[in-house]
Amino acid sequence: MKRFTDTEKWRDPWYRKLHPRLKCLWGWMCDNCDHAGVFQIDWEGASFDIGMNVSIKDLELFGDRLQLLPSGRYLIRKYIPFQSGGLTEACPAHKPILKLVN
């Protein structure tokens, strides 16, 4: 699936200060989440894909940009607004996202 990426992230002081391992983890999460920005972390798979070991402690460094859901999965908080803008039932492309959110 193709997704938008923010080419300005390299100018964002928050992103710029991240360790390269965390930049790769952020990209991994954005690439491996569903249409609503929700993902289940696979530590072994993420570590293999990134080429460095990552752990739960790394997620803590993202602060309020992530939300732990009751299911044990994580939500990238700003994912939907960035990828889709405001969600509406009238937009066919938004229907699968709304289904996931509900």
pLDDT, tens only, 74-88: 989 887 665 666 656
88-95 long-range contacts (CB < 8 A, ≥24 apart) are none
Q: How far apart are CA 20 and CA 86, in angstroms?
A: 31
The pTM assigned to this predicted structure is 0.79
> Residues 13-64: pLDDT tens digits?
999 999 999 999 999 999 999 888 889 999 999 999 999 999 999 999 999 9
Q: What is the pLDDT of residue 91?
A: 57
Question: Where is pLDDT greater, at 6 or 59?
Answer: 59
**Residue (of 44, 15, 32) closest to 73 by Cα position:** 32
Q: What is the pLDDT of residue 93?
A: 57
Flag whether pLDDT at 66 surpasses 90. yes
Cβ atoms within 10 Å, residue 9: 14
